[in-house]
Structure 1
């Protein structure tokens, strides 16, 4: 019997869980104005300087195999993984506020510029994978 393997996007969705009923980001809405050209599917990470260690979150997001857009809101620079372009400044903060982000970090799964799924809050690092200790 072969071990079950999860697709990277499925792993990301399992890691993020289901949207919180209290989430303010509205599913199906178009993203507010932004500086990138939207792809068919992409992940948008909206975060701030006071999110703490986002290593597990970045690992899950980058492992999904989709383009990643990083939005560093609230005017205090915070790092992102090497190779990820970060949008910072007042326009990035305005983007987060126009989305009605309720908590940082917020991860959006976007299809053709529309929010398909949203997750807000702290990431516990559990990707929902069985038998992959040490990964």
Structure 2
């Protein structure tokens, strides 16, 4: 049985790291975009390594994707994804209390529904769930 991309992302986000500091239910700090009903925000930095598989999973979810490149060193995002960079982007990440990069947030109406932090190695935490 094949999972829908959004379901896969939601299941992955449903298993946050024990040391996650982003608080569920919190309102997003100030940002430059108009929030949608549901969206995915990827907060990352230049030292995250290859995020190709993570970007693929996030883009496959079919939700609007916001990219926040924190820590003042430019790092690429997939074509077509607008990236927010600079001191304000870093302040956004710190106001969220991001504990590790990359951090993926599932947001609804400007509030954090779920968060996943840490190194992504291609495993969305779905082993044994089929």
* TM-score tier (shorter): over 0.9
Q: CA deviation at 1:74?
A: 0.3
Please point out which of 65, 69, 83 is paired with 2:66.
69
Please, which runs of 5 or more residues in structure 1 have no aligned partner?
A: 131-135
Superposed structure 1 runs of 4+ greater than 4 Å apart: none
**Distance in 2 between the 1:8 and 1:71 partners?**
22
The residue aligned with 2:94 is 97
Q: CA deviation at 1:7?
A: 1.7
C-alpha contact (below 8 Å) 1:15/1:60 kept by paired residues: no
The residue aligned with 1:46 is 43
> Which TM-score applies when normalising by structure 1?
0.89
Pairwise mapping of residues 10-21 of structure 1 onto structure 2 (< 5 A)?
Answer: 10-21=7-18
Kindly tell me the number of residue pairs found equivalent between the two proteins.
127
- When the two chains are superposed, the root-mean-square deviation of aligned CA atoms in Å is 1.5
Q: CA deviation at 1:17?
A: 4.8
Pairwise mapping of residues 1-135 of structure 1 onto structure 2 (< 5 A)?
Answer: 4-127=1-124, 128=126
Larger Rg: 1 or 2?
A: 1
- Cα deviations by residue, 1:28-61 (Å, 9 ceiling, x for unpaired): 0000000000000000000000000000000000
